[in-house]
A and B are shown apart, each in its own frame.
Chain A
Amino acid sequence: MLNLKDYDVGGFYDEVFDKDGVVRPGARLLVDRINELPQGELERRQKAVELALLNMGITFTVYGDTSGTERIFPFDLFPRIVEAHDWAHIESGLKQRIQALNLFIDDIYQDQRIVNDNVVPRELIETCRGVRDVCRGLNPPRKIWCHICGTDLVRDDSGTWLVLEDNLRCPSGVSYVLENRQVMKRVFPRIFEESRVRPVNSYPLRLLENLSYLAPEDVQDPKIVILSPGSYNSAYFEHSYLAQQMGIELVEGRDLVVVDGRVAMRTTTGFQRVDVIYRRIDDDFLDPTTFRSDSMLGVPGLIDVYREGRVALANAPGTGVADDKVIYAYVPKMISYYLKEDPILPNVETYVCYDDAQRDHVLKNLDKLVVKAANESGGYGMLVGPHSTKEDQEKFAVLIKENPRNYIAQPTISLSRVPSIIDDRFEGRHVDLRPYVLYGETIEVLPGGLTRVALKKGSLVVNSSQGGGSKDTWVLDNDDAPQADQGTSTGGAHA
Chain B
Amino acid sequence: MTRRKRTKGHLQGVHMLSRVANSIYWMTRYIERAENLARIVEVNRHLNLDFPGDVDRQWEPLVWITGDNKLFEERYGDFTEENVTRFLMADPEYPNSILSCLQAARENARSIREIIPSEMWEQINTLYLYMKKMVDGKLAAESPYESYQNIIMKCHLFNGLMESTMSHSEGWHFGKLGQYIERADKISRVLDIKYFFLLPSPTFVGSPFDNIQWAALLKSVSAFEMYRKRWRRISHKHVAEFLILDREFPRAIYYCLIAAGQSLHAIAGTPQGQFANEPERILGRLRSDLDYKKIDEIVDGGLHEFLDHIQIQLNDLSNATFEEFFAIRPVDPHKNAQRVASSQQQSN
A positions within 8 Å CB-CB of B: 54-57, 230-231, 236, 240-241, 243-244, 249-252, 254-255, 257, 259-260, 262, 264-273
Residue in A231, A236, A252, A272 whose beta carbon sits within 8 Å of that of B15 in the complex: A272
- Does B164 have its Cβ within 8 Å of any Cβ on chain A? no
The residues of B that contact A269 with a CB separation of less than 8 Å are 3-4, 6, 14-15
Query: How many whole Å from A224's CB to the nearest CB in chain B?
Result: 13
Residue of A nearest to B343 (CB): A254
Q: Which 10 A-B pairs have the closest CB atoms?
A: A270-B3, A244-B114, A243-B114, A231-B111, A240-B114, A271-B1, A267-B15, A57-B125, A268-B325, A272-B15
Q: How large is the interface on B (under 10, 10 to 19, 20 to 34, 35 or more residues)?
A: 20 to 34
Residue of B nearest to A54 (CB): B129
Cβ–Cβ contact B114 & A271, under 8 A: no
Asked whether A268 and B18 contact (CB < 8 A) given A254-B328, A254-B339, the answer is yes
Residue of B nearest to A241 (CB): B114
B positions within 8 Å CB-CB of A: 1-4, 6, 14-19, 21, 107, 110-111, 113-114, 118, 121-122, 125-126, 129, 170, 267, 325-326, 328-329, 331, 339, 343
Residue in A54, A230, A251 whose beta carbon sits within 8 Å of that of B17 in the complex: A251
16 A-B pairs besides A54-B129, A254-B343 with CB distance below 8 A are A56-B121, A56-B122, A57-B113, A240-B110, A251-B17, A252-B19, A254-B19, A254-B328, A255-B18, A259-B331, A260-B1, A264-B1, A268-B18, A268-B170, A268-B326, A271-B3
User: Can you show 15 pairs from A to B with CB atoms below 8 A apart?
Assistant: A54-B129, A56-B118, A57-B113, A57-B121, A57-B125, A231-B111, A252-B19, A254-B339, A264-B1, A267-B17, A268-B17, A269-B3, A270-B1, A271-B1, A272-B3
The residues of A that contact B110 with a CB separation of less than 8 Å are 57, 231, 236, 240
Question: Which of B1, B126, B129 gathers most chain A CB within 10 Å?
Answer: B1
Query: How many whole Å from B101's CB to the nearest CB in chain A?
Result: 17
Cβ–Cβ contact B122 & A272, under 8 A: no
The residues of A that contact B111 with a CB separation of less than 8 Å are 230-231
Task: Compute how far the CA of A259 lies from the CA of B332 in the bound complex, rounded to whole angstroms.
Answer: 11
Query: How many whole Å from A68's CB to the nearest CB in chain B?
Result: 10
Task: Compute how far the CA of A44 lies from the CA of B253 in the bound complex, rounded to whole angstroms.
Answer: 49
The residues of B that contact A231 with a CB separation of less than 8 Å are 107, 110-111
The residues of A that contact B14 with a CB separation of less than 8 Å are 267, 269
Residue of A nearest to B14 (CB): A269
Task: Compute how far the CA of A255 lies from the CA of B4 in the bound complex, rounded to whole angstroms.
Answer: 17
Cβ–Cβ contact A57 & B122, under 8 A: yes
Asked whether A267 and B113 contact (CB < 8 A) given A56-B125, A231-B107, A254-B339, the answer is no
The residues of B that contact A264 with a CB separation of less than 8 Å are 1
